[in-house]
Chains A and B, each alone.
Chain A
Amino acid sequence: MFYREAGDFNTSYPEDSQTFPIKFDRWRYYAVLFVAIFVIPFLINDYWVNSIFLPFLIYSIAAIGLNILVGYCGQVSLGTGGFMAVGAYACYKLMTSFPDLSMVVHVLLAGGITAGVGVLFGLPSLRIKGFYLAVATLAAQFFLVWLFNRVPWFYNYSASGQISAPERTFLGVNITGSNTDAWATYLFCLFFVILSAYIARNLTRGSVGRKWMAIRDMDIAAEIIGVNPLRAKLTAFAVSSFFVGISGALFFSVYLGAVEVGEAFGITKSFLVLFMIIIGGLGSIFGSFAGAAFLVLLPVALKIIGVDWLGWPTDIVAHLQLVVVGALIIIFLIAEPHGLAQLWRVAKEKLRLWPFPH
């Protein structure tokens, strides 16, 4: 009723394998893009950008990255925080060493460097699986944070041990530093989100994605049809870390501006992104967005409801947030392991037929 595909025929294989084969979906997607690019920048202010839009966009990239590794390739990783730190520190070193290069180049290069580090820490995945791999990536998390704390070269020997982003412009507009406009930082991050989602979608629908999913579903069968497990796993680690690195670079340079590694990229960050993809939906690009939106909006919503409307003390609301997130994780793991993305799919199935039951 609301959602119809009658009269919508795909007559060629490219048409059939496009991202949104149904016309209605396609137009909705264009509409969302239009609003995100041409409407939202004119409406937002600093509060909206800093509390909702920037974290949502940046975590979306991280979630897409982790989803490729965990959701598509089935390799559990708890090193997301560490890889985000690699992206952030790579970006910082690049920004300070090559001040004339464009910020886009810095962020992309930071992603590339993180991809390399990701491959390095992905090597154990060839021998170990599941929980054991998770522990190995946990080692990456702690090692990387320790490294960035202990080696002064990474933070340019600054006294505080922090890194802070120098002012940089893109097309003549400030996007890092203290004098930034809300719309500029928003659009800058949005560009990387669209790019990441586009690349991730293309990779996951083609032969590379099928190799990853084959490894995830049954590695022996994947080998028997000619998938080199070493290559498939390492490309997953590389692509995943590339996105996570980009998100780390943006998180540091555009969003926070100054970073202390243990605080910004600690183990809690790894868990946060992991929760995002579990709640959002493993093995789904849309799920990465849904999960990121959900976990970014939840504290804001709880704060508005708890503190502003009900007048509860702030610390109780903060603790309540932990309780709610924990409960949600358990509920999702039991009731809907495929997360919000699956709920969305089911809702679409129902809407196709509504108001008829069959």
Chain B
Amino acid sequence: MRVTDMTTEYTTADGRRIGGTVMEMKNITLRFGGVEAIKNISFDIREGEIRAIIGPNGAGKSSMLNVISGFYVPQDGEVWYKGAPRPPMKPFEVAQQGIARTFQNIALFEGMSVLDNVMTGRLTHMKTGLFAQSIWKGKAEQEETENREVAERIIDFLEIQAIRKTPVARLPYGLKKRVELARALAAEPTILLLDEPMAGMNVEEKEDMSRFILDVNDEFGTTIALIEHDMGVVMDLSDRVVVMDYGKKIGDGTPDEVRNNQDVIDAYLGVSHD
């Protein structure tokens, strides 16, 4: 995945187009009481790219994701989205703006079937009011069918057709992760945030998940920002990598640049693998 030119729009070696900046963190600082979880961090996410955030435990990666998705409001700094600073927002408003995410420890709706879970991802697209819904015939049913079609496309795409009507609580871990991805994808987000999509998976499941992430990016052109611990996966998947340590940014660039950055090697990859 050699990058040719990164100053403006460019095409990656595998032929994906990377556009301009869609989201930019500007000098974000986040404190919990006396603890500075994020210290003055800036980086951008460009349209169509896979952007990884890596760092040792406690580096502030998840906090960063929580800032993006609106759970935490930073004390300093601004989040720019689509070329304008974003006012402080509730998480559901962020979601309505087209930012979907998955969680490190799965956050599915256990009492609902896989299909219903994926359909909840469509909620931001469903607008019929209470009254039309209670009549059902007509507008509500039509909207349901349209959104069901989108949900079914995602279900096909992630190859979970067979468990469509299974209650989520009955699924194994790996499949739950996939359903959660399906739910986030069903929202047809502009930016997809993945918090450790491969945590706790075996090699085979990791390969499957990597394939899905690449396919999602390729097929739908979704911008993806992901946190991951598996270095091999991160280096193979991502176009650009942000490295954090103790709340500070210590590296930013293509996987190769990051790999050769002395600070990063010291902080994270300190132990050489050969």
Q: Mark A208-231, 1 if CB is under 8 A from B, else 0.
A: 101101101110111111111100
The stretch from B9-17, B35-43, B114-122, B255-263 touching chain A is: B114-122
Q: Mark A54-77, 1 if CB is under 8 A from B, else 0.
A: 000000000000000000000000
Main secondary structure of the interface of B (DSSP, over half): helix
Q: Mark B125-136, 1 if CB is under 8 A from A, else 0.
A: 010101001111
Given contacts A207-B123, A213-B116, contact A225 B100 (CB under 8 A): yes
> Complex: how many Å from CA A198 to CA B134?
8
Chain A: which residue is nearest B134 at the CB level? A199
Complex contacts, B149 vs chain A, CB 8 Å: 13
B140 lies within 8 A of A224 (CB): no
Question: What's the tally of chain B residues with a CB closer than 8 Å to chain A?
Answer: 41
Given contacts A13-B145, A202-B136, A203-B134, contact A210 B116 (CB under 8 A): yes
B107 lies within 8 A of A226 (CB): no
With most chain B CB atoms within 10 A of its CB, the pick from A17, A210, A224 is A224
Q: Pick the residue among A210, A217, A221, A226 that contacts B103 (CB under 8 A).
A: A221
Q: Does A7 touch B at the CB level, under 8 Å?
A: no
B133 lies within 8 A of A224 (CB): no
> Complex: how many Å from CA A82 to CA B145?
39
Complex contacts, B178 vs chain A, CB 8 Å: none
Complex contacts, B19 vs chain A, CB 8 Å: none
Complex contacts, A210 vs chain B, CB 8 Å: 112, 116, 119-120, 123
A211 lies within 8 A of B103 (CB): no
A214 lies within 8 A of B107 (CB): no
Q: Pick the residue among B95, B109, B140, B145 that contacts A217 (CB under 8 A).
A: B109
> Complex: how many Å from CA A198 to CA B133?
11
A223 lies within 8 A of B90 (CB): yes
> Complex: how many Å from CA A207 to CA B145?
11
From residue A287, how far is it (CB to closest CB) to chain B in Å? 14
Q: Does B63 touch A at the CB level, under 8 Å?
A: no
Complex contacts, B184 vs chain A, CB 8 Å: 225
Complex contacts, A223 vs chain B, CB 8 Å: 90-92, 95
Q: Does B57 touch A at the CB level, under 8 Å?
A: no
Q: Mark A4-48, 1 if CB is under 8 A from B, else 0.
A: 000000001110010000000000000000000000000000000
Complex contacts, A217 vs chain B, CB 8 Å: 108-112
Q: Does B187 touch A at the CB level, under 8 Å?
A: yes
Q: Does A206 touch B at the CB level, under 8 Å?
A: yes
Q: Does A235 touch B at the CB level, under 8 Å?
A: yes
B145 lies within 8 A of A226 (CB): no
Q: Does B144 touch A at the CB level, under 8 Å?
A: yes
Chain A: which residue is nearest B121 at the CB level? A225
Complex contacts, B46 vs chain A, CB 8 Å: none
Interface residues of A (CB under 8 A from B): 12-14, 17, 198-199, 202-203, 205-208, 210-211, 213-214, 216-218, 220-229, 235, 239, 283
Known: A210-B119, A225-B120. 20 other contacts (CB 8 A): A202-B135, A206-B133, A207-B123, A207-B128, A207-B133, A210-B116, A213-B109, A213-B111, A213-B112, A218-B107, A221-B108, A221-B109, A222-B109, A222-B120, A223-B90, A225-B95, A226-B95, A226-B96, A227-B123, A228-B90
**Would you give 15 A-B contacts (Cβ < 8 Å), ordered by A?**
A17-B144, A202-B134, A206-B126, A206-B128, A207-B128, A207-B143, A211-B123, A223-B90, A223-B92, A224-B69, A224-B95, A225-B183, A226-B95, A228-B90, A229-B92
Interface residues of B (CB under 8 A from A): 69, 90-92, 95-96, 100-101, 103, 107-112, 116, 119-124, 126, 128, 130, 133-136, 140-141, 143-145, 147-149, 152, 183-184, 187
